[in-house]
Amino acid sequence: MRRSGGRKRRLHFSKIYSFSCGRASLKEEHSQIGGPGFSRVVFCNEPDSFEAGIRNYADNYVSTTKYTVATFLPKSLFEQFRRVANFYFLITGILAFTPLAPYSAVSAIIPLIIVIGATMTKEGIEDWRRKQQDIEVNNRKVKVHKGSGEFDYTEWKNLRVGDIVRVEKDEFFPTDLLLLSSSYEDAICYVETMNLDGETNLKLKQALDVTSTIQEDTSISEFHATVKCEDPNANLYSFLGTMDFEKQQYPLSPQQLLLRDSKLRNTDYIYGVAIFTGVDTKVIQNSTPPPSKRSRVEKKMDKIIYLLFGVLFTLSSVGSIFFGIKTKDDLNNGIMKRWYLKPDDSTVFYDPKKAPIAAIYHFLTALMLYSYLIPISLYVSIEIVKVLQSVFINQDIHMYYEEADKPAHARTSNLNEELGQVDTILSDKTGTLTCNSMEFIKCSVAGTAYGRGFTEVERSMGRRNGSPVHEALIGKDDTAPIKGFNFKDERIMFGNWVNEPHGDLIQKFFRLLAVCHTAIPEVDEVTGKVMYEAESPDEAAFVIAAREVGFEFYKRTQTSISVRELDRASGQQVDRLYTLLNVLEFNSTRKRMSVIVRNEEGKVLLLCKGADNVMFERLAKNGREFEEETKEHLNGYADAGLRTLILAYRELQEDEYTEFNAKFIKAKNSISADREALIDEVTDNVEKDLILLGATAVEDKLQNGVPDCIDKLAQAGIKIWVLTGDKMETAINIGFACSLLRQGMTQIMINLESPEIKVLEKEGDKDAITKASRARVLHHIDKGKAQLTASSGGSEAFALIIDGKSLAYALEDDIKSLFLELAMGCASVICCRSSPKQKALVTRLVKSGTGKTTLAIGDGANDVGMLQEADIGIGISGVEGMQAVMSSDIAIAQFRYLERLLLVHGHWCYRRISSMICYFFYKNITFGLAVFLYEASTTFSGQPVYNDWFLSLYNVFFSSLPVVAMGVFDQDVSARFCLKFPLLYQEGVQNVLFSWRRIIGWMLNGLTSAVIIFFFCMKALQPCAFNPDGKTAGKDILGATMYTCTVWVVNLQMALAISYFTLIQHLFIWGSITLWYLFMLAYGAMSPTLSTNAYKVFVETLAPTPSFWLITLLVPISALLPYFTYSSLRMRFFPLYHKMIQWIRYEGRSNDPEFCDMVRQRSLRPTTVGFTARLAARTNKLRR
Residues with a known catalytic role: 428
Residue 344 CA: distances (Å) to CA of 330, 349, 351, 355 = 9, 12, 8, 13
Is there a contact between 162 and 177 (Cβ–Cβ < 8 Å)? no
Using CA atoms, how far apart are residues 906 and 655, in angstroms rounded to an integer?
70
The C-alpha angle with vertex 752 and arms to 22 and 233, in degrees rounded to 5, equals 55
The C-alpha angle with vertex 431 and arms to 426 and 432, in degrees rounded to 5, equals 30
Backbone angles phi, psi at 97, to 5 degrees: -85, 5
- What is the CB neighbour count within 10 angstroms for residue 1002? 21
Strand partners, 723: 831
Length of the chain in residues, anyone? Answer: 1184
Is there a contact between 414 and 296 (Cβ–Cβ < 8 Å)? no
Using CA atoms, how far apart are residues 246 and 948, in angstroms rounded to an integer?
85
Using CA atoms, how far apart are residues 432 and 781, in angstroms rounded to an integer?
29
Following DSSP, what letter does each residue of 877-889 receive, concatenated? --SS--HHHHT-S
User: What burial class does residue 179 get, using C-beta atoms within 10 Å of its C-beta: 0-12 exposed, 13-18 middle, 19+ buried?
Assistant: buried
DSSP E strand stretches across 278-427: 331-332, 335-336, 409-410, 422-427
Using CA atoms, how far apart are residues 1174 and 660, in angstroms rounded to an integer?
48
Using CA atoms, how far apart are residues 148 and 161, in angstroms rounded to an integer?
19
The C-alpha angle with vertex 1031 and arms to 1028 and 1034, in degrees rounded to 5, equals 140
- What is the CB neighbour count within 10 angstroms for residue 1007? 14
Residue 319 CA: distances (Å) to CA of 361, 364, 527, 936 = 12, 11, 91, 7
Using CA atoms, how far apart are residues 400 and 897, in angstroms rounded to an integer?
9
Strand partners, 1043: none
Residues 6+ apart with CB under 8 A from 709: 895, 896, 898, 899
Output the CA torsion sign for 509, 511, 513, 515. negative
Is 593 in a helix, a strand, or coil? strand
Is there a contact between 771 and 675 (Cβ–Cβ < 8 Å)? no
Cα 546 to the chain's mean position, in Å? 38
Residues 6+ apart with CB under 8 A from 231: 37, 38, 39, 40
Using CA atoms, how far apart are residues 710 and 261, in angstroms rounded to an integer?
30
Strand partners, 508: none
Residue closest to 806 by CA, chosen among 773, 843, 782: 773
Helix, strand, coil shares of the chain, percent, nearest 5, are 50, 15, 30
User: What burial class does residue 1110 get, using C-beta atoms within 10 Å of its C-beta: 0-12 exposed, 13-18 middle, 19+ buried?
Assistant: exposed
Backbone angles phi, psi at 189, to 5 degrees: -150, 155
Is there a contact between 485 and 544 (Cβ–Cβ < 8 Å)? yes
Is there a contact between 422 and 889 (Cβ–Cβ < 8 Å)? no
Q: What is the tally of helices (H) and strands (E) in the chain?
A: 41, 35
Residue 347 CA: distances (Å) to CA of 351, 352, 438 = 6, 10, 87
